[in-house]
Amino acid sequence: QFRREAESAGRLNHPNIIAIYDAGEDDDVSYLAMEYFEGVSLLENTSPDNLLPAKWVLVLAARAAEALDYAHRQNVVHRDVKPANLMYHAATDTLKLTDFGIARLTDNSRTKTGIILGTPSYMSPEQLSAVGVTGQSDLYSLGITIYQLLTGSAPFRADSIPKLMDKILNESHTPIRELRSDLPACIDAIVNKALAKNPAERFSTGLEMAIALRECARQF
């Protein structure tokens, strides 16, 4: 399984994705040799007192959406998109999507259903239901990430995993502009589409989502 994951991630060659150079074993320890990157994760910018400028959130999210678009065209789904897996280096203005460690090839011969992988707060309804996961699931998780980077809070919160799962599966999120009235309407339009319960109602590709994010950013 580890080698399959390394194979899927190692195929990816994109400026906004951390490169994996090698995989192997040493004294029964499996390892990945990865690109070194000095950036810090966007997890540092998810608290209300340390948010990034909203326009910049959209610009960085557009880059992430383009990286996901590339991965999806290589039949690789990330499955764990979240702020902690988005690294940014301010000095070089570089964003990198990292940790494809639980990615799965979406080829039918390799895909396993019935296995839940990911971080609960960022997981799509179909991930929680352990059914077929596509690139639209990553775009959902990116929508959750955008929501948290803009508001300092995840859209779905609960004091237990079962309650959290129920909210993700059945409840609607609070519109962002109810929490931040200073933002343009296009932000809610993008996030609402990304967080649609039905994958078919979300953005069809990461590129489509990136274009919408960049157009919205131009309204600032």
Q: What pLDDT digit, counting tens, does each position of 32-84 carry? A: 888 899 999 999 999 999 999 999 999 999 999 999 999 999 988 888 899 99
Q: How many helices (H) and strands (E) does the chain have?
A: 8, 7
Closest CA to 100 of 185, 163, 13, 168: 13
Q: What whole-number distance in Å separates Cα of residue 122 and Cα of residue 82?
A: 7
What's the confidence (pLDDT) of residue 110?
46
- Collapsing DSSP to helix, strand or coil, 40 comes out as strand
In the structure, what pLDDT confidence band is assigned to residue 87 with cuts at 50, 70 and 90? very high
Treating both helix axes as pointing N-terminal to C-terminal, what angle do 135-151 and 185-194 enclose, rounded to 10 degrees? 140
Closest CA to 211 of 73, 71, 69: 69
Give catalytic residue positions.
Answer: 80
What's the confidence (pLDDT) of residue 51?
95
- Tell whether the model's pLDDT for residue 109 goes beyond 70: no
Q: Residue holding tokens 């179909």?
A: 126
What's the confidence (pLDDT) of residue 123?
86
What's the confidence (pLDDT) of residue 101?
57
Report whether 203 contacts 209 (CB < 8 A). yes
Q: What whole-number distance in Å separates Cα of residue 204 and Cα of residue 65?
A: 12
Treating both helix axes as pointing N-terminal to C-terminal, what angle do 206-217 and 185-194 enclose, rounded to 10 degrees? 170
Q: Which residues contact 140 (CB under 8 A, 6 or more apart)?
A: 124, 125, 194, 195, 196, 199, 202
Q: How many CA atoms lie within 13 A of 23 on its CB side?
A: 15
- Tell whether the model's pLDDT for residue 115 goes beyond 80: no
In the structure, what pLDDT confidence band is assigned to residue 114 with cuts at 50, 70 and 90? very low
- Say which residue, 209 or 4, is predicted with more confidence: 209
